[in-house]
Amino acid sequence: MTATPPSPPADHACRPGIPFSFELYPPKTDAAATALHGTIDALADARPEFISVTYGASGSSRTSSLDVLRYIRRATTVDPMAHLTCVGSSPRRAA
């Protein structure tokens, strides 16, 4: 007799009690920013613990990162989180 493992729920990534999050990179164009808003809305529907936005990676615009974080805060019920990237930054700039 062999035991058959239980099948995972259809939406196993969103099971209650298992925390998860999403990380986004800031958009580089206005068109990408508009598209990202729709993506954020869809991701928020999965009820993650938070959505992080990489802040200042590889010289990306810190302003666009802040814009995305503000959108998450304003348009969803998910906590936004700035994921600071300090590589290549002076200690003063990273603070």
Rounded to whole angstroms, how far apart are CA atoms 29 and 19? 31
Residues with catalytic roles:
23
45: containing domain: 21-94
In a domain, 4, yes or no: no
* Neighbour-count burial for 70-95, b at 16+ CB within 10 Å, e otherwise: ebbeeebebebbeeebeeeeeeeeee
Domain-embedded: residue 14: no
Single-letter amino acid code for the residue at 92 = R
Number of folded domains in the chain?
1
pLDDT tens for the 95 residues of the chain, in order: 455 555 555 555 555 688 999 999 888 888 998 999 999 999 999 999 999 998 765 555 678 888 999 999 999 999 999 887 777 767 776 66
For residue 13, being part of any structural domain is answered with: no
